[in-house]
Amino acid sequence: MFRTLFCLSLLIVSNQSAAESITIASGEHPPFTSQYRDDEGLINAIVKASFAAVETEVSFRYLPWQRALNSSRVGSYVATSYWAIKSERQEHFFHSEPLWYGGSVLVSLNSTGEFTSLASLKGKVVGAVRGYTYTEDFWLNGDKGLYEIEEVNSDLQNLKKLFAKRIDAFLIDRVAATTLIDRYLSPQQRAVLCISNNDVMSSSVHLLISRKTEGAAKLLESFNRGLATIVNNGQYQQIADRYPMITHGFLK
């Protein structure tokens, strides 16, 4: 009898532990998300701290972005980090409160010149990353033939295509662009790049919780509560302070 009760107790404890640990699909996009940083990047550090504030342990699985989104949509992962709001995703995901506010710039070669808006890309070939969120205007302009859109799996691939002159420009977050360029290019290569001074697109970014997840609505409420907690107790700002290269978009 005692042995049976002991085994049942272990089973209950085990189930409780499992319920407090979740896996979130993400992708490589330093300095915002990265398996190579101790804190896994600004956004994933915020996600992890928000869940920790409501006693939920998080681990991240890094995948190509489109696969992270698709796998989470069908319920293979509880959630995916991180994404801008896109209307067609509402059917499959709950969107958290904003985690950060970002903007994208256009990167091109000096020989081509600076592109300052989507309209300035007329007749050009523009690089995009599969799974990234771009504005409806961006896709609509491509459909109308204002410019041609070529998709790849990473920002690095777009950078390589730019130097090979297979695309004329690509869209990327300003801070991510700086990180990418500093990591992979020599000073001589950096000197031939042109980055638009103004943001071509801007949006808030969110954790997406799969509607296939059991108790998804409750998990969303719990996460938002944890996010509010770390903003109010100063932990959010402490995370932000680890990223001095990011000077905008933080919650107050």
Each residue's pLDDT tens digit, 30-48: 999 999 999 999 999 999 9
Average pLDDT of the residues of the chain: 92
Angle at 112 between CA 109 and CA 115, to 5 degrees: 85
20-100+204-241 and 101-202: same fold?
yes
Angle between helices 155-163 and 174-184 (to 10 degrees): 60
- CB-CB contact of 106 with 195 (8 Å): yes
pLDDT digits (tens, 9 = 90+) for 67-122: 999 999 999 999 999 999 988 899 999 999 999 999 999 999 999 999 999 999 99
DSSP letter at 169?
E
What pLDDT score does 153 carry?
A: 92
Q: Is the pTM of this model over 0.85?
A: no
Kindly report, residue by residue over 154-171, the tens digit of the pLDDT: 999 999 999 999 999 999
Alpha-carbon distance of 241 to 245, in angstroms, equals 9
Which DSSP string do the residues of 187-223 spell out, in sequence order? HHHHTTEEE-SS-SEEEEEEEEEETTSTTHHHHHHHH
Sign of CA dihedral 221, 243, 152, 118: positive
- Domains of the chain, by residue range, sit at 20-100+204-241, 101-202
pLDDT of residue 20: 80
101-202: CATH topology is: D-Maltodextrin-Binding Protein; domain 2 (3.40.190)
Give the Cα separation of 162 and 169 in Å (integer). 7
Match domain 20-100+204-241 to its CATH number in 3.30.300.20, 3.40.190.10, 3.40.228.10, 3.40.50.12280. 3.40.190.10
